[in-house]
Amino acid sequence: MRKISDSLFLFFLFILPFQTVYLLREPMIGGEKWQYGTIGIYASSLVLAIAILIVAISREKEIQNISIGIRMETLWRERKTDAFLLLFVLWSGLSLLWAQDAMLAMYSFCKILLVADAFVMTRDMVRRGKLRQVISVLLLAVVIQAGIGIGQFLMQESFRSSLLGTSAYESWQAGTSVLKNDTGRFLRAYGTFPHPNIYGLFLAVGLLLVAHRIMSMTRGAEQTIERVVTVGVVPVILLGLILSFSRSAWAGFAIGFAFLMAQTIISGGRHIRMRLYATISVVVLSSVIFSFILREAVFPRFDQATVGQERSVTDRMTTYRDALGIICVHPLLGVGVGNMTAELIRLRPEQPLWDIQPAHDVPLLICSELGIPGLVLSLCFFGSLALPWLRKKNVPTLAGTFLVFLPSLLLDHFLWDSNFGLLFLFVALGITTSDD
């Protein structure tokens, strides 16, 4: 049973980037689709649920022989992380009682249940010595996504596939994420994701995991061949990351890679430091070459005048004000999990639906939906993961994986309200529990 659940979990990791979904609800308001009220069953979530069910069945006798009181006491004494996660899940479930859209709240709560199990299963895989398998499957998915994204940019269009969960994007279409300059509009790489920022984050995390893999390889002829192949995929993933033109993903990778470099230089041996320097050389050289080739598209992304004129900046500020307004009215309970946009529609029915968005800041979004208690519990959960790193003399280099998420957590919302974002975040958190 364990082998079956492990295989299913690894398959879940592989198909996680593909947005294959069966839609159960597509609400229309005023003739427009309410995107954030859509409910669907994703193929990746279904595979994960089956894996969870198999694990639950295999452990039924073990659970029956342990009293609830002892289990809770053990959770609080030895597994504060699990305790905070459990409390957060319970509080999210309670918010169904006061949520305006109960069906949407139930759907969001089910996602939280799944991601909590995804975290526990990833951590369990890591503790049983299967970290290498987990990272290998993720890297295979990352390389495939990088290839798809590069192809999209070169062709300036993407293909539609219900099976793979991809949509057709073209640079001339309204609503498509593009680069604009004097020569025209250019499609940003999407991969199989609904937005280039999500695609970019996936590749940024993958690129950091590649660097970690190179650092952790042992010496030997077979390892040398594997190291050459691993180093060879760095330019491919890096090019895909650049073509996402996601500043938050670029910043996240820079922060995570800087952490990896610092930890390796401080605690790594001579051979590991030599691998680090070789990896840095490949990353820097590839970045310089790709940036020079794409200079007309890359450099304007950092121009202050261009950034100031972008609508995305104005939209973010508006969503911050919306979230703060909801928090001021509902500071303790929030409006219910998954219900921020539902509350905004209720408050401002005359506002165009396309102009109503969740807060582009995950802590603000959680606080608006689950109140201050929900935000505190989520911060306690993250803190319980981070504190053990700080107590160690040598912080695990995989802890830097979480740093890649920071810009997206503070500047976007998909790590909370999208199926992929929430699952990928908690899988990554499970990986960081490795003693490395």
CA distance 58 to 405: 34
Residue 304, pLDDT score:
55
Please tell me the least confidently modeled range out of 97-101, 150-154, 311-315, 426-430: 311-315
| Digit-coded pLDDT (tens) for 325-371 | 999 999 999 999 999 999 999 999 888 888 899 999 999 999 999 99
Residue 67 banded pLDDT, cuts 50, 70, 90:
very low
Q: How many CA atoms lie within 13 A of 285 on its CB side?
A: 10
pLDDT interval class at 281 (50, 70, 90): confident
* Structure tokens given for 334: 């929030």
**Cα 7 from Cα 5, distance rounded (Å):** 5
Least confident stretch, 25-34, 96-105, 200-209: 25-34
Alpha carbon distance 135, 9 (integer Å): 12
Work out the number of other CB atoms within 10 angstroms of the CB of residue 421. Answer: 26
pLDDT averaged over the chain? 85
In degrees to the nearest 10, what's the CA dihedral of 270, 275, 277, 282? 170
pLDDT value at residue 279: 84
What is the structure's pLDDT at 73? Answer: 44
For the chain, the structural domain boundaries read 2-63+102-431
Cβ–Cβ under 8 Å, residues 393 and 353: no
**pTM for the structure as a whole:** 0.90
- Quote the pLDDT of residue 272: 77
Distances (CA, A) of 264 to 223, 271, 281, 354, 397: 19, 11, 15, 46, 8
Res. 164 pLDDT band, cuts 50 70 90: confident
Most confident of 48-52, 168-172, 215-219: 48-52
213 confidence band (pLDDT: 50, 70, 90): confident
